[in-house]
Amino acid sequence: MAVLAQLVFAFPTGHLKSRADRVAVGGTYAAILGLSALRTLTLDPGAEPQCGLGAATSHICVRNGALLFHSRSLATLTANLHDGVLGLVTIAALGLLVGRWITATPPARRMLAPVLLVAVAIGSLSVSLELGDVSGAPMGLHNALYFADQVAILALPFAFPAGLLRSRLAQAAVSRLVVELGQSPPPGRLQRALARTLGDPSVLLAYWLPAKGRFVDLEGREVSLSEPSPGRAVSVLERGNEPIAALVHDAYLEQEPELVQAVGAAAGLALENERLHAQLRAQLEEVRASRARIVEAGDAERRRLERDLHDGAQQRLVTMALPLSMARARLEQAPDPALAPVLEDLASNLSLALAELRELARGIHPAILTEQGLGAALASLAERSPIPARVVTAPPGRLPANVEATAYFIVSEALANAAKHSGAGLVTISAASRRGELEVSVTDDGVGGAEPAGGSGLSGLEDRAAAVGGTLEVHSPPGAGTKVVARLPCG
């Protein structure tokens, strides 16, 4: 019984994986070998009541050659100790087996089902026998339970190959996989088909990109396979001695390498097609990242130019204005009709240059956006708009810097476009955060008919929105105004 218990807990790998399993098996060995040996030293069959009155010739009334302690009370004590400890160990083992079934993954259950079912039956019948003996159950019930327990013990050796056979029979599902993949499934369905065939819904499919030397998922994102999580394993699928994909699956499927390889072979062509799809998505992801870096670099250069203008040319102009003011003050004390107009003209041109420089610096990268956020920056845009504009809604808090900058320049360009082409009398600006994204809209009541590809100034806004993973829509029916809507992810 102890050996059978070890086989059950070690199935199918042949190793006792957890400390609880080792304690259960060790307890079974100790109870059966240790306590059984102790019980044997005190067992005297001839002293049993049914062996008296000349019945010593009965087959159960034999002499115990190992009898060492002739004590009826000691024999009762060792018998009860043996039965009690073995019963507790059996109950604990049953709990572990039931727990293993509850936590088992579908591939594990497929293999463990016959063994666990028979083992639980043996344990339950053994406990029932012990309880029947303690409660004084009728001999007929005792014999029936004993017979069922022995039948279950005889069935256990057949349960081990039955579990392995169930795994082998799973390969019959490969034929259904071939039929399904022959219908050219769309991208993404292959992983679900493989999961269904392997009986493991947690299957993850990664594709090998030779040019990059890495695995990626269907969306082109890199997948690290160096250290799979506990209970998971990785199988690399090859075609022509070259890796094409990898399966991250339940560790129990390592006991079925033929099934995994058969599935990989059946899905070879579909894997190749999806790998090409993943490679394309990876390239698109790189293009998107590159575009985002270009936009970010442009914004950084804008901020640098704004700082240089603010701290350089603007400061020099302000410094020039001071002595000019002093010269004008002295001129008032000692008037010179020829010099006064020259100083007035110089002061006027200097004020104009300073105003234009400040406007240019604001257009390159507004300081108010960095310091006070998108709401204040949009209000500033509306105040400086060549045509009447008002902000209807604005997000109350701060958003990621790249999102705020993108929204600001989209609104700025939309306002400039409306001023040049729409003939509008009013422009409304709205910005609100909803479900993890910022929605910005600029609506005018002008003539409409704007086309992003028609040189209206809107074409570059789509690229700017896409650089942060967003989208841009332009609704401009002729005669009904123009509405520019940008949706930018904030996560």
As a three-state string, the secondary structure of 364-423 is HCCHHHHHHCHHHHHHHHHHHCCCCEEEEECCCCCCCHHHHHHHHHHHHHHHHHHHHHHC
Q: What number of H helices and E strands is found in the chain? A: 16, 10
- For residue 41, give the 3-state DSSP assignment: coil
The Cα 182–Cα 411 span in angstroms is 50
Which comes out higher in pLDDT, residue 410 or 350? 410
Q: Is the pLDDT of residue 85 over 70?
A: yes
Q: Is the pLDDT of residue 56 over 50?
A: no
- pLDDT range class, residue 151, cuts 50, 70, 90: very high
Pair of tokens at residue 387? 């045509």
Q: Going by DSSP bridges, is the β-strand pair 389-393/427-434 parallel, antiparallel, or unpaired?
A: parallel
Backbone angles phi, psi at 409, to 5 degrees: -70, -30
> What is the identity of the amino acid at 207?
Y
Distances (CA, A) of 256 to 11, 252, 274, 381, 465: 14, 8, 25, 66, 49
Residues 188-208 have pLDDT tens digits of 566 777 777 777 777 887 877
Query: How large a percentage of the chain has pLDDT more than 70?
Result: 66
Domains of the chain, each with CATH number or no CATH: 2-170 (no CATH), 178-285 (no CATH), 371-489 (3.30.565.10)
The Cα 193–Cα 178 span in angstroms is 10
What is the average per-residue pLDDT within 267-286? Answer: 63
486 strand-pairing partners: 440, 472
Pair of tokens at residue 270? 């579909």
> What is the identity of the amino acid at 40?
T
User: Mean pLDDT: which of 124-138, 347-361, 382-396 is highest?
Assistant: 382-396
Torsion of CA 235, 236, 241, 242, to 10 degrees: 170
Q: Is the pLDDT of residue 440 over 70?
A: yes
Q: How many residues does the chain have?
A: 491
Pair of tokens at residue 253? 């499927």
pTM over 0.85: no
Q: Is the pLDDT of residue 46 over 60?
A: yes
The Cα 464–Cα 102 span in angstroms is 52
What is the average per-residue pLDDT within 460-481? Answer: 81
Pair of tokens at residue 215? 């695995």
Which comes out higher in pLDDT, residue 270 or 433? 433
Whether the CB-CB separation of 465 and 471 falls below 8 Å is answered with: yes
Whether the CB-CB separation of 177 and 246 falls below 8 Å is answered with: no
- Residue 32's CB is within 10 A of a number of other CB atoms, namely 18
The Cα 210–Cα 279 span in angstroms is 10
Torsion of CA 99, 100, 102, 105, to 10 degrees: 160
pLDDT at 86: 83
